[in-house]
Amino acid sequence: MFLADQAYDDAHHLGDRFLPDANATTWEVFDRLPPLTGTADHRWRRRMARAFDDLAADLTPGKWPGPTCTAEEMALHLAIEDAPTHLEDRPSTDLHHTLPEHGDDCGWDDCSDLLFQDHDLLMLFDPKLSGIADPQDPANQSMGVGDLRAAAWFAPFGSHSVRDPWRGLRWWGAAAPSCAMRPPSRGLSAQFTGCPSSTCCSTQPEAGPASRGVSAGSAEAKVPA
């Protein structure tokens, strides 16, 4: 949840500003993403922040975190990267220290190997591979990478990995508004309810299952050119 908090804070303060134009020396999360996400808008950033919450929700019942889209893969990469420092910063009274110890508790490299289908996403950090995100790029096609453009980051990998499209995003404020478009039986908490504003939250169900090869035009979130 810590990275989710940071990402929502970043999104709140960044708004629709492009990262190169934002007046801040550093951000907690969004300046750690591939450069092609620097022009993402506020709504895209809030959905990226939700990816951290979705993975945390996987862990709550004791399941392994299972990325269901490119955004969640990126979120998991950052979580694994930050995990060693996060554990070092835990106070001696933290309940974490009461858990049984195992020899591979801190095998972060193993996590990277076991929890991902592939590491294609990390190629977006390589300036020598400019254009690799586009499925029309020759290098992309030769390696079978698929669509890694920012607009396609929230497309589910397959029908088996679709999350609840009505789960909404965190609401900024003391209380959540009543949203006529939200199913009345969901009973979502105020913290995670959908916002009625189409400029910041998704109150409508998201796109159905699609392969990673979904085109940017069919992805729900758009990134300014």
What pLDDT shows up at residue 106? 66
Q: Beta strands of 34-184 (E only): which ranges?
A: none
Predicted confidence (pLDDT) per residue in 127-139, tens digit? 999 999 999 999 9
Alpha-carbon distance of 167 to 188, in angstroms, equals 7
Is 191:171 a contact under the CB 8 Å cutoff? yes
Q: How sure is the predictor about 147, in pLDDT bands with cuts at 50, 70 and 90?
A: very high
Query: How many other CB atoms are found less than 10 A from the CB of residue 210?
Result: 20
Residue 124: band (very low, low, confident or very high) from pLDDT cuts 50, 70, 90: very high
Instruction: Judge contact between 67 and 116, C-beta under 8 A.
Output: yes
* Rounded-to-integer distance, Cα 31 and Cα 6, Å: 12
Is 69 in contact with 155 (CB distance < 8 Å)? yes
**What are 128's two structure tokens?**
């020598």
Average pLDDT of the chain, as a whole number: 75
In the numeric block, which tokens belong to residue 6? Answer: 């940071």
Residue 176 has pLDDT above 50, yes or no: no
User: Would the pTM count as exceeding 0.75?
Assistant: no
Task: Supply the angle between the helices 2-14 and 42-59 in degrees, to the nearest 10.
Answer: 170
- Residue type for position 4: A
- The residue count of the chain comes to 225
